[in-house]
Amino acid sequence: MAIFLLAASDPAKDVYAHKFRDSSDLRQRLEPISHFSGGNPRIIERGLQLLTLAMLCDHLYDAESDKALNKVNPVGAGHWDAAAMMDRIRRELEAYPCPEMDEILNPNQLPNYWEHK
């Protein structure tokens, strides 16, 4: 979660910017932080899905500005069906509810998060 918050901040945004190689699979960017020793695997997977949804919402929000800046954005380029991806991720999140996690990062508020930064 800390890496996600750091990556979303303006000073670090370029360091964590989406690269073309990341476009094959949205979850690819989370792979380096997806290995845990112990813990509930379903909760860990839910957390990764929540971060995946957050990244997708960020791509949606930045689609037009990224296009103007010639930045890689698979949503803006039409490589990803964002609506279908969001529906799938939301179903997976709802399949294993965790109110404590949602208090930290609420999946229902993510689509509007960047509008309030």
Residues 71-83 have pLDDT tens digits of: 889 998 888 899 9
The pTM for the full model equals 0.77
Q: Tens of pLDDT along 34-48?
A: 888 999 999 999 999
Predicted local distance difference test score (pLDDT) of residue 91: 95
Closest CA to 93 of 32, 47, 30: 47
- pLDDT of 113 > 70? The answer is no
